[in-house]
Amino acid sequence: MVAGEHDSGALTVDQFRQQIRQALRAVAGDAAGLEADLLLREVLQRSRVQLITRGANQLEATQFAQLTTLLKRRQSGEPLAYILGHREFWSLDLLVTPATLIPRPETELLVEIALARVGSEHAQVADLGTGSGAIAIALASERPGWQLLATDQSTAALAVAQQNSQRLQVSNVEFLQGSWFEPLGGRQFDLIISNPPYIADDDPCLEVLLGPAADAHPVEPISALTGGSDGLDDCRQLISAAQNYLKPGGLLLLEHGHDQQPRLQQLLEAAGWNQIECFQDLAGLDRAVLAVAGQ
């Protein structure tokens, strides 16, 4: 534990900042510096520039205690987003809790594709499995004329999404509880978009995502991560039924794992989808597929 042997009054912000960076290296790796700054900004309520310009200021006892507590939580493996209670996505500050998946930067690709490919100013869009509401709220904020329906089977996750919508004053999103297409009724959409669970149940990466001590700290909901033996169970449901809820020429846009694109193309072709397009994220990894409903 860093700084545990020091009197908080003897530590400046800069001194504690350096100690946190070293302490976080084991759990955060190259991101240790960024995470240290985020923890400091959260407690001190300062901008990144202020952390530097006021680095010689001494920590108050209450600030030292708060930072020490947050640092211990992070060192235990608890995700930083759950410690802070929020995460940036598409320049929006979203609340997150252990009831929701933590929004990833690569998921912003879906927002970019949707904005580029849906030309109507008054589109009807469904975001299935919305979690924190990241995708739906990002689209709604960019296209005030669109009407979005965001669904999730988790009432706890849906409550977080609704809270985010209210905080960000986004009024063109409707939230309904239910699994995949259950809440849609007879509605028809221009676009159905989803970041479904796509990790195989026995994928070793789950240990990395959840951490070695997952029983000791909050972790992301496993139901939002895993999708059966090959990770594609939920994608199969979406591909097989989405055309029933799309207008003629409507679009289906899905995020997927880096090695799943060929199999998803096969599933889409077998289900009668047209004009299938594949996209890579900024890391150059296969990340999303877009398909047009068959006539």
- pLDDT tens digits, one per residue of 65-75: 999 999 999 99
Q: What is the percent of the chain where pLDDT is above 90?
A: 68
Q: Is it the case that residue 25 has pLDDT exceeding 80? A: yes
Q: Is it the case that residue 115 has pLDDT exceeding 90? A: yes
Residue 200 is predicted with a pLDDT of 64
User: What Cα–Cα distance (Å) separates residue 215 from each residue in 76, 168, 218, 264, 271?
Assistant: 10, 33, 8, 33, 40
Q: Is it the case that residue 118 has pLDDT exceeding 70? A: yes
Q: Is it the case that residue 1 has pLDDT exceeding 80? A: no
Residue 88 is predicted with a pLDDT of 94
Q: How far apart are the first and last CA of the chain?
A: 62
Q: Is it the case that residue 14 has pLDDT exceeding 50? A: yes
Cα 265 → chain centroid: 24
Residue 203 is predicted with a pLDDT of 58
Q: Is it the case that residue 205 has pLDDT exceeding 90? A: no
Residue 218 is predicted with a pLDDT of 62
With a CB cutoff of 8 Å and minimum separation 6, the contacts of 286 are 256, 258, 259, 260, 261, 278, 279, 280
**Residue entry with tokens 């904020």:** 141
CATH number of 8-75: 1.10.8.10
229-256 average pLDDT score:
92
Q: Can you give the residue ranges of every domain in the chain?
A: 8-75, 86-292
**Residue entry with tokens 């992070």:** 74
Name the residue with higher pLDDT: 28 or 169. Answer: 169
Cα 43 → chain centroid: 23
Residue 207 is predicted with a pLDDT of 59
Q: Is it the case that residue 211 has pLDDT exceeding 70? A: no
Nearest-angstrom CA–CA distance, 196 and 234: 6
Q: Is it the case that residue 215 has pLDDT exceeding 60? A: no
Residue 48 is predicted with a pLDDT of 83
- CATH classification number, 86-292, choose in 2.40.50.140, 3.40.1010.20, 3.40.50.720, 3.40.50.150: 3.40.50.150
Q: With bands split at pLDDT 50, 70 and 90, how would you rate the model's confidence at 232?
A: confident
Residue 5 is predicted with a pLDDT of 43
Name the residue with higher pLDDT: 181 or 199. Answer: 181
